[in-house]
Amino acid sequence: MRMNSRKPMTLHRLEQMRAAGEKIAMLTCYDAAFAHLLDEAGVDVLLVGDSLGMVIQGHPSTLPVSMEQVIYHTECVARGNRNAWVIADLPFGSYQESTAQAIENAIRLMRAGAHMIKLEGGGWTVPTVQSLVQRGIPVCGHLGFTPQSVHALGGYRVQGREPSAAEILRHDAEELAAAGAPMLIIELVPSAVARDLCAHLPMSVVGIGAGPDCHGQVLVLHDMLGLTPGRPPRFVRNFMDGASDIGEAVRRYVQDVKSGVYPDDAKHGY
Ligand code: KIV
Protein backbone atom coordinates (compact mmCIF):
# COMPACT_ATOMS: atom_id res chain seq x y z
CA MET A 1 0.00 0.00 0.00
CA ARG A 2 1.37 3.46 -0.94
CA MET A 3 1.08 5.98 1.89
CA ASN A 4 1.61 9.26 0.01
CA SER A 5 -2.01 10.32 0.57
CA ARG A 6 -1.53 10.43 4.33
CA LYS A 7 -1.44 13.70 6.25
CA PRO A 8 1.71 15.21 7.78
CA MET A 9 2.39 13.68 11.20
CA THR A 10 1.96 15.95 14.21
CA LEU A 11 2.61 15.70 17.91
CA HIS A 12 -1.14 15.70 18.47
CA ARG A 13 -1.58 12.75 16.08
CA LEU A 14 1.26 10.85 17.79
CA GLU A 15 -0.49 11.38 21.11
CA GLN A 16 -3.80 10.19 19.59
CA MET A 17 -2.02 7.04 18.36
CA ARG A 18 -0.75 6.30 21.86
CA ALA A 19 -4.23 6.85 23.34
CA ALA A 20 -5.80 4.59 20.70
CA GLY A 21 -3.18 1.86 21.11
CA GLU A 22 -1.84 2.30 17.54
CA LYS A 23 1.87 1.50 17.53
CA ILE A 24 4.37 4.10 16.30
CA ALA A 25 6.75 2.80 13.59
CA MET A 26 10.06 4.67 13.70
CA LEU A 27 13.32 4.10 11.78
CA THR A 28 16.58 5.97 11.63
CA CYS A 29 17.17 7.88 8.40
CA TYR A 30 20.10 9.92 7.17
CA ASP A 31 19.47 11.02 3.57
CA ALA A 32 16.82 12.29 1.14
CA ALA A 33 16.41 9.09 -0.91
CA PHE A 34 15.67 6.97 2.15
CA ALA A 35 13.51 9.71 3.68
CA HIS A 36 11.33 9.58 0.56
CA LEU A 37 11.21 5.76 0.56
CA LEU A 38 10.48 5.43 4.30
CA ASP A 39 7.81 8.13 4.20
CA GLU A 40 6.12 6.47 1.20
CA ALA A 41 6.27 3.10 3.00
CA GLY A 42 4.29 4.51 5.95
CA VAL A 43 7.00 5.03 8.57
CA ASP A 44 5.56 7.44 11.15
CA VAL A 45 8.80 8.91 12.50
CA LEU A 46 12.26 9.36 10.91
CA LEU A 47 15.09 9.64 13.43
CA VAL A 48 18.24 11.40 12.25
CA GLY A 49 20.22 9.50 14.85
CA ASP A 50 23.83 10.02 15.78
CA SER A 51 24.12 6.30 14.93
CA LEU A 52 25.11 7.88 11.59
CA GLY A 53 28.59 8.00 13.09
CA MET A 54 28.63 4.21 13.10
CA VAL A 55 26.58 3.14 10.06
CA ILE A 56 27.47 5.99 7.66
CA GLN A 57 30.92 7.07 8.85
CA GLY A 58 32.25 3.74 10.15
CA HIS A 59 33.22 4.88 13.66
CA PRO A 60 33.08 2.36 16.54
CA SER A 61 30.72 4.65 18.54
CA THR A 62 28.49 7.73 18.15
CA LEU A 63 30.94 9.96 20.05
CA PRO A 64 32.77 11.59 17.09
CA VAL A 65 29.58 12.94 15.46
CA SER A 66 29.43 16.75 15.26
CA MET A 67 26.56 19.26 15.20
CA GLU A 68 27.46 20.23 11.62
CA GLN A 69 27.10 16.59 10.54
CA VAL A 70 23.69 16.11 12.19
CA ILE A 71 22.53 19.42 10.67
CA TYR A 72 23.67 18.26 7.21
CA HIS A 73 21.85 14.92 7.49
CA THR A 74 18.72 16.56 8.97
CA GLU A 75 18.57 18.93 5.98
CA CYS A 76 18.91 15.96 3.59
CA VAL A 77 16.13 14.03 5.37
CA ALA A 78 13.84 17.07 5.53
CA ARG A 79 14.20 17.56 1.76
CA GLY A 80 13.27 13.93 0.97
CA ASN A 81 10.44 13.63 3.49
CA ARG A 82 6.89 14.81 3.04
CA ASN A 83 4.69 13.53 5.87
CA ALA A 84 6.73 11.72 8.53
CA TRP A 85 7.68 13.35 11.86
CA VAL A 86 11.41 14.10 11.94
CA ILE A 87 13.49 13.83 15.11
CA ALA A 88 17.16 14.89 15.14
CA ASP A 89 19.72 13.85 17.74
CA LEU A 90 21.73 16.37 19.72
CA PRO A 91 25.17 14.73 19.37
CA PHE A 92 27.73 14.16 22.13
CA GLY A 93 29.16 17.48 23.36
CA SER A 94 26.32 19.61 21.96
CA TYR A 95 24.20 19.86 25.16
CA GLN A 96 26.29 18.56 28.08
CA GLU A 97 27.94 21.91 28.93
CA SER A 98 24.90 24.04 29.72
CA THR A 99 21.21 24.59 29.02
CA ALA A 100 22.18 27.63 26.91
CA GLN A 101 24.38 25.40 24.73
CA ALA A 102 21.51 22.89 24.35
CA ILE A 103 19.02 25.62 23.38
CA GLU A 104 21.39 27.10 20.79
CA ASN A 105 22.07 23.72 19.18
CA ALA A 106 18.45 22.56 19.34
CA ILE A 107 17.44 25.73 17.46
CA ARG A 108 20.00 24.87 14.77
CA LEU A 109 18.45 21.40 14.35
CA MET A 110 14.90 22.80 14.20
CA ARG A 111 16.05 25.29 11.55
CA ALA A 112 17.55 22.39 9.58
CA GLY A 113 14.10 20.78 9.40
CA ALA A 114 13.66 18.72 12.59
CA HIS A 115 10.24 18.68 14.29
CA MET A 116 11.66 17.43 17.59
CA ILE A 117 15.10 16.97 19.11
CA LYS A 118 16.38 14.00 21.09
CA LEU A 119 18.92 13.98 23.90
CA GLU A 120 20.22 11.21 26.13
CA GLY A 121 20.04 10.81 29.89
CA GLY A 122 17.88 11.60 32.90
CA GLY A 123 18.48 13.60 36.10
CA TRP A 124 20.89 16.30 34.99
CA THR A 125 19.06 16.77 31.63
CA VAL A 126 15.70 17.60 33.24
CA PRO A 127 16.17 21.41 33.57
CA THR A 128 17.45 21.46 29.97
CA VAL A 129 14.42 19.50 28.73
CA GLN A 130 12.10 21.88 30.59
CA SER A 131 13.82 24.94 29.08
CA LEU A 132 13.62 23.53 25.56
CA VAL A 133 9.93 22.61 25.92
CA GLN A 134 9.14 26.07 27.34
CA ARG A 135 10.72 27.55 24.21
CA GLY A 136 8.52 25.53 21.86
CA ILE A 137 11.04 22.80 21.04
CA PRO A 138 9.53 19.31 21.45
CA VAL A 139 11.94 16.91 23.16
CA CYS A 140 12.32 13.14 22.96
CA GLY A 141 14.26 11.65 25.89
CA HIS A 142 16.49 8.58 25.64
CA LEU A 143 17.02 6.27 28.64
CA GLY A 144 18.24 2.73 29.33
CA PHE A 145 21.35 2.08 27.27
CA THR A 146 22.46 5.54 26.12
CA PRO A 147 25.08 5.15 23.35
CA GLN A 148 26.86 8.44 24.11
CA SER A 149 27.70 6.96 27.55
CA VAL A 150 28.96 3.64 26.14
CA HIS A 151 32.28 3.89 27.96
CA ALA A 152 30.73 4.89 31.30
CA LEU A 153 28.24 2.01 30.99
CA GLY A 154 30.97 -0.55 30.26
CA GLY A 155 29.81 -1.48 26.74
CA TYR A 156 26.56 -2.44 25.01
CA ARG A 157 24.68 -3.96 27.96
CA VAL A 158 21.06 -4.33 28.99
CA GLN A 159 20.10 -1.65 31.56
CA GLY A 160 17.59 -1.83 34.43
CA ARG A 161 17.88 -5.56 35.20
CA GLU A 162 18.28 -5.02 38.97
CA PRO A 163 15.18 -3.71 40.82
CA SER A 164 17.16 -0.68 42.04
CA ALA A 165 18.29 0.16 38.48
CA ALA A 166 14.72 -0.31 37.18
CA GLU A 167 13.53 2.09 39.90
CA ILE A 168 16.06 4.74 38.82
CA LEU A 169 14.96 4.30 35.20
CA ARG A 170 11.33 4.79 36.17
CA HIS A 171 12.17 7.86 38.27
CA ASP A 172 14.19 9.41 35.41
CA ALA A 173 11.36 8.73 32.93
CA GLU A 174 8.79 10.31 35.26
CA GLU A 175 10.97 13.40 35.64
CA LEU A 176 11.37 13.75 31.87
CA ALA A 177 7.60 13.44 31.44
CA ALA A 178 7.01 16.06 34.15
CA ALA A 179 9.52 18.36 32.39
CA GLY A 180 7.27 18.19 29.32
CA ALA A 181 8.96 15.62 27.06
CA PRO A 182 6.13 14.01 25.04
CA MET A 183 8.25 11.08 23.85
CA LEU A 184 10.90 8.75 25.24
CA ILE A 185 13.13 6.15 23.59
CA ILE A 186 14.20 3.29 25.84
CA GLU A 187 17.06 1.11 24.63
CA LEU A 188 18.17 -2.34 25.82
CA VAL A 189 15.74 -2.65 28.72
CA PRO A 190 14.10 -5.88 30.00
CA SER A 191 10.61 -6.31 28.53
CA ALA A 192 8.96 -6.40 31.97
CA VAL A 193 10.56 -3.09 32.97
CA ALA A 194 9.50 -1.50 29.66
CA ARG A 195 5.94 -2.82 30.11
CA ASP A 196 5.70 -1.19 33.52
CA LEU A 197 7.03 2.15 32.18
CA CYS A 198 4.59 2.16 29.26
CA ALA A 199 1.63 1.40 31.50
CA HIS A 200 2.33 4.35 33.80
CA LEU A 201 4.00 7.16 31.84
CA PRO A 202 1.98 10.01 30.27
CA MET A 203 4.22 10.03 27.17
CA SER A 204 4.87 7.87 24.09
CA VAL A 205 7.53 5.28 24.89
CA VAL A 206 9.34 3.89 21.85
CA GLY A 207 11.50 0.83 22.39
CA ILE A 208 14.65 -0.57 20.81
CA GLY A 209 15.52 -3.88 22.41
CA ALA A 210 12.81 -3.20 25.01
CA GLY A 211 10.22 -5.85 24.19
CA PRO A 212 6.82 -5.78 22.49
CA ASP A 213 4.80 -3.64 24.91
CA CYS A 214 6.12 -0.18 24.08
CA HIS A 215 3.92 2.39 22.32
CA GLY A 216 6.23 2.14 19.31
CA GLN A 217 9.42 0.61 17.98
CA VAL A 218 12.58 2.02 16.44
CA LEU A 219 15.46 0.28 14.67
CA VAL A 220 18.61 1.50 13.00
CA LEU A 221 17.80 1.37 9.26
CA HIS A 222 21.02 -0.41 8.29
CA ASP A 223 20.42 -3.09 10.96
CA MET A 224 16.90 -3.95 9.77
CA LEU A 225 18.10 -4.05 6.14
CA GLY A 226 20.88 -6.49 7.08
CA LEU A 227 23.60 -4.01 6.02
CA THR A 228 25.47 -3.73 9.32
CA PRO A 229 28.58 -5.94 9.36
CA GLY A 230 28.94 -8.53 12.12
CA ARG A 231 26.40 -10.38 14.26
CA PRO A 232 23.33 -8.19 14.91
CA PRO A 233 22.04 -7.69 18.46
CA ARG A 234 19.32 -10.11 19.60
CA PHE A 235 16.51 -7.56 19.16
CA VAL A 236 17.21 -6.89 15.46
CA ARG A 237 15.26 -8.65 12.72
CA ASN A 238 16.49 -8.54 9.12
CA PHE A 239 13.39 -7.43 7.20
CA MET A 240 15.15 -8.00 3.85
CA ASP A 241 14.75 -11.75 4.46
CA GLY A 242 12.05 -12.78 1.98
CA ALA A 243 11.51 -9.21 0.68
CA SER A 244 11.89 -8.46 -3.04
CA ASP A 245 13.19 -4.91 -2.45
CA ILE A 246 13.86 -2.34 0.26
CA GLY A 247 10.39 -0.80 -0.05
CA GLU A 248 8.79 -4.16 0.71
CA ALA A 249 11.12 -4.73 3.68
CA VAL A 250 10.19 -1.35 5.17
CA ARG A 251 6.46 -1.84 4.54
CA ARG A 252 6.70 -5.20 6.32
CA TYR A 253 8.47 -3.52 9.26
CA VAL A 254 5.64 -0.97 9.53
CA GLN A 255 3.03 -3.70 9.26
CA ASP A 256 4.71 -5.98 11.82
CA VAL A 257 5.24 -3.16 14.32
CA LYS A 258 1.63 -1.99 13.97
CA SER A 259 0.20 -5.51 14.28
CA GLY A 260 2.48 -6.40 17.21
CA VAL A 261 4.19 -9.26 15.30
CA TYR A 262 7.55 -7.50 15.76
CA PRO A 263 9.22 -7.62 18.19
CA ASP A 264 8.49 -11.13 19.40
CA ASP A 265 9.37 -11.22 23.10
CA ALA A 266 10.64 -14.81 22.99
CA LYS A 267 13.04 -14.05 20.10
CA HIS A 268 13.89 -10.37 20.51
CA GLY A 269 13.26 -9.53 24.18
CA TYR A 270 15.47 -9.50 27.29
O1 KIV B 1 21.15 7.33 17.09
C2 KIV B 1 20.28 6.45 17.00
O3 KIV B 1 20.11 5.79 15.97
C4 KIV B 1 19.45 6.18 18.17
C5 KIV B 1 18.64 4.92 18.12
C6 KIV B 1 19.49 3.78 18.52
C7 KIV B 1 17.44 5.01 18.98
O8 KIV B 1 19.47 6.90 19.12
Note the pLDDT tens digit of each residue in 180-237. Answer: 999 999 999 999 999 999 999 999 999 999 999 999 999 999 999 999 999 999 999 9
Predicted local confidence at residue 4, as pLDDT: 59
- Average pLDDT over every residue of 34-44: 98
pLDDT of 2: 53
pTM for the full model? 0.97
| Cβ contacts of 158 within 8 Å, gap of 6 or more | 145, 188, 189, 190, 209, 270
> Does the structure show a pLDDT above 50 at 1?
no
- Of 187, 138, 157, 190, the closest CA to residue 28 belongs to 187
* Residues annotated catalytic, as ranges: 187
Sign of the CA dihedral with 139 first, then 142, 129, and 167 last: positive
Q: Is a pLDDT exceeding 90 seen at residue 3?
A: no
Ligand 1 pocket, residues with Cβ under 6 angstroms: 28, 47, 49-51, 89, 142, 185, 187, 208, 218, 220
Among protein residues, the one with the nearest Cα to ligand 1's atom 4 is: 49
Calculate how far, in angstroms, residue 187's C-alpha sits from the geometric centre of ligand 1.
Answer: 9
Residue-averaged pLDDT of the chain: 97
What is the per-residue pLDDT across 88-111, written as a single tens digit (0 to 9) for each? 999 999 999 999 999 999 999 999
- How far from 111 is each of 12, 75, 86, 167, 169, CA to CA, in Å? 21, 9, 12, 37, 32
Q: Which of 104, 96, 94 is nearest to 65 (CA)?
A: 94
Residue 52 CA, ligand 1 centroid: distance in Å: 9
Q: pLDDT tens, 248-265?
A: 999 999 999 999 999 999
- Tell me how far apart the alpha carbons of residues 48 and 9 are, in angstroms, rounded to a whole number: 16
Among left, alpha and beta (phi > 0; psi -120 to 50; other), residue 154 is left
How far apart are the CA of 120 and the centre of ligand 1, in A?
10
**Quick one: how far is CA 201 from the chain centroid?**
17
Q: Which domains does the chain have, with CATH numbers?
A: 23-268 (3.20.20.60)
Q: Which residue, by CA, sits nearest to atom 1 of ligand 1? A: 49
Percent of the chain at pLDDT > 90 equals 98
